[in-house]
Amino acid sequence: MSSSEQAPVPSATASPSVDGNPSPRDAQARAPLSRHLILLCVVAILVGLDLWSKSAVFSWFQDPEAQAALPRSERGHPRFPILGDWLGFMLNLNYGAAFGKGGSMPWLLVGGRCVAAVFLTVLIYRTPMGQRVYLSALVLILSGALGNLYDNFTFAPAPDLPGVQAGRPFGPVRDFIDVYFYGWDWHFPTFNIADSCITVGAILLLLSGLGASREPAGAAPESGAA
């Protein structure tokens, strides 16, 4: 080899493993970021659907003519029946979390939603695309958290509501889907699409954990070497 010739210098980004397969770091670097961006677009669509539905139903119910035409529930609230008396639309402002709990700790409640939203976003970015059930659960829970956070930060509390503490730092979450089980004489707490996303996401998260626990503990990944 002449003095003018130089040996090829290996690229700084190439780091093949001993058996010739790409290292996990290289595989993560080549993971298409666009797929994770698509998941975040799905989150945006679900949040938009939640906000649109709440805005549309609340605007319709607040129209004086619509209120006069709506039937009343057993407690006197305007309620629009969809499937008889079992399923309908009825307005409700929720200052707490699920089932109205946690309303006395607004900073803890809203702060927990903010932390959860950031944590879920990081998890979505770092989770491999092959874990579809797990990713679907994360997307649904994140969508629900963001939809409810929007209400917390954009709607001022109504101090004239009975049983609501005046001067609260955050606004209520708008709920409108009302379910009543007449066979058991039980009224399910009013909810919204964001709450539905969180519930379905939690179920999928549980199912993904059960599926992972059934995998053989000693199973090793297949090697690419012959």
Query: Virtual CA dihedral for 149, 178, 63, 50, nearest 10 degrees?
Result: 30
Distance CA 129, CA 165 (A): 45
160 among known catalytic residues: no
Active-site residue among 50, 151, 175, 178? 175
19 among known catalytic residues: no
Within 13 Å, how many C-alpha atoms sit on residue 48's CB side?
6
Active-site residue among 50, 151, 178, 195? 195
Neighbours of 36 (CB within 10 A): 17
**Any idea which residues carry the catalytic annotation?**
175, 195
